[in-house]
Chains A and B, each alone.
Chain A
Amino acid sequence: MKTDSNTVIRARQLCKTYGNGSKPPVRAVSGVAFTAERGEVLLIRGPNGSGKTTLLSMLGCMIPPSRGSLWILGENVTRLSQRRLTEFRMKHLGFVFQTFRLLDALTVSENVELPMNLGGMRRPDSARKAGALLEEFGLLHRAGFHPQALSGGEKQRVAVARAFANDPSLILADEPTGSLDSRAGKAAVESLCSAARRCRTTVLIVSHDSRIEAVADRVLCMEDGRLKGGTES
């Protein structure tokens, strides 16, 4: 299948069924199809258990779909080996999580540097780039701190800075405001979206939070594993 050079995600009939034989299979995602363009901010809303996180895991190349095809940046990721998927994730994807997922053992700066180092960038260069990112997100003064010393909003902004570390084409954000108060949540999402627009990075946000709709270019709703309002490709 050919994909437009502007198309970052093209999902066709994505399905994910869980089950190990002893229990009846559970269909978490069923026939999901949509596309996302470069620089687009896409919000997927839906109640708990609607399959949002499973969809995000598939888009994040972490679990394979049971059926359907998924093209990210023109690459059919359903056909890649585990090793290639890991490399693909490192080079092209960034993540923001509900509970921040910063490594407590590392400083703020080191947390941002980590994806760069995993990608092969050497220490002085990664430290310089992490400094620039932290400055962009207003956290340079916290660079030497450990995450435990940061507020929730600051932690999420560090996570956002980390997501941009390897200049990804796609950032997947799972409930980025879920652990924050409204002000901090708004600030975190706004900083994520404005940076993404500046870098022409596609952002796919999964959230309950209706306030995020204001910053999203497009909203898709998910219910019972199916997408409503998706663009069929």
Chain B
Amino acid sequence: MVPIVERMVWNERTRFLITACGIAFLVILMFFLGEVYEGVKAGSVGYIRQTGADLWICQKNSTNLLRSSSFLPVAAGSAIRKIRGVRETSGILRVLCTTRIGGGPVTLFLCGFDPDSPLGSPLSLKEGTPSIRSGEIIIDQAFAAKHGLHAGDSLDIQERRFRIAGICRGTNAVVAQFAFTTIESAQALLGFGGVASFFLVKGDGSVGSRALLDSVKLACPAWSVFSKAEFVENTLTEMKTGVLPILWTVAVMGCVVGVAVMMLMLYGSVFEKREDYALLKALGASHRFLTLLVIRKAVMCGLLGFVLGFLLNRLFNPLLIRLVPELCLEFRWSLAGTLLSASLAIGVLGSWLSIVKVVRFSPAEVFRA
């Protein structure tokens, strides 16, 4: 077959390119949303994954790290340590606190941990050491980059001065960044001593993870006990509940705009070239041939839009992160696959109106002088 689709596209390359650019910008927007979502996902549970804990214990009805309050007595740690199969336990205190940088308030997701315990400290450090002392703090790299902070600088949090002892990675939840200090310093900020939000539990390997979970649950009936996987899942669910409806709304609106752009281009093209389509009909082109011709044009446009969008995304993401350090963009090939499918689907959906039009053209239009 003569390459009629490719030639028709080349003949209308400006219109085609403008439409492909429209799709490309839509793809960039979708990539951005998807990568932010993946970034928030990773940043929200990065700390849970980093700690070496097998189990998380919290107050009854508290389920996750992000959006539930939990207060437990630190003294209960010694009782937990005596449960069969437990090797180590450590309390952490989570405090939402405010610091003032550059005159404005900035929120920090502060976790107080015991530096002498192997549990609870951030493991992925870019600079410094997790062995901090009272009055010292470890901050997330995105927070440090955004506010120009370095190890050795000081940070005032709620009228207390902290020395930045380290910079950690993988703890950027975008809406707020995690920071880490000693549990005593966190208790001082909160204004209560002897309190923890969660107990992290590490098994000694003598019993299986399921048996460990059951025995801790049995020993602590007044509290909620979760495996690490459950706690990660609970936290993700909590995060998704807040973020996903917004992302879906924007994504659906974007797709509708994409379909409209595609429809406009194809309809304009078909209408302008109606005599060419009438000629094809006169020469014996079937409805199936003409339908596939329009769809192929649309799919080519969608594909080009995706490729442009993908390349621009890969090109400009590092620049974007440099400009907005608190952005946490996580690229996933599965996201690229989804967006490729979406681009092609936009093409097919966008061609519907044009196909209806082409099928209705009379071949006799070819006799118009």
Given pairs A90-B283, A103-B276, A118-B289, 13 additional interface contacts (CB within 8 A):
A62-B282, A62-B363, A83-B286, A90-B284, A97-B366, A97-B367, A101-B275, A103-B279, A105-B11, A110-B4, A114-B283, A118-B280, A119-B284
A146–chain B nearest beta-carbon distance, Å? 9
Does A117 touch B at the CB level, under 8 Å? yes
Chain B residue contacts of A91, Cβ below 8 A: 284
Smallest CB gap from B281: residue in A: A86
Q: Mark B264-285, 1 if CB is under 8 A from A, else 0.
A: 0000000000011001111111
CB contact list, A122-146 vs B, under 8 A: 123, 126
Does B319 touch A at the CB level, under 8 Å? no
Q: Mark B339-369, 1 if CB is under 8 A from A, else 0.
A: 0000000000000000000000011101101
Q: Check B284 against A115 for contact (C-beta < 8 Å).
A: yes
Chain B residue contacts of A101, Cβ below 8 A: 275, 279, 366
A-B contact pairs, 21 of them (CB 8 A): A56-B367, A60-B282, A60-B363, A60-B364, A62-B366, A83-B286, A86-B286, A89-B283, A89-B284, A89-B363, A95-B366, A101-B275, A101-B279, A103-B4, A103-B276, A103-B279, A113-B2, A117-B1, A123-B1, A126-B2, A174-B367
Chain B interface category by residue count: 20 to 34
Q: Check B4 against A105 for contact (C-beta < 8 Å).
A: yes
CB contact list, A55-102 vs B, under 8 A: 56-57, 60, 62-63, 83, 86-87, 89-91, 95, 97-99, 101
Q: Check B284 against A87 for contact (C-beta < 8 Å).
A: yes
Q: Check B2 against A110 for contact (C-beta < 8 Å).
A: yes
Does B76 touch A at the CB level, under 8 Å? no
A56–chain B nearest beta-carbon distance, Å? 6
Chain B residue contacts of A126, Cβ below 8 A: 2
Does A230 touch B at the CB level, under 8 Å? no
Chain A residue contacts of B248, Cβ below 8 A: none
Chain A residue contacts of B11, Cβ below 8 A: 104-105
Query: CA of A91 to CA of B287 in the docked complex: distance in angstroms?
Result: 16
Query: CA of A217 to CA of B287 in the docked complex: distance in angstroms?
Result: 37
A67–chain B nearest beta-carbon distance, Å? 18
Chain A residue contacts of B67, Cβ below 8 A: none
Query: CA of A97 to CA of B282 in the docked complex: distance in angstroms?
Result: 11
Query: CA of A106 to CA of B6 in the docked complex: distance in angstroms?
Result: 10
Query: CA of A62 to CA of B278 in the docked complex: distance in angstroms?
Result: 10
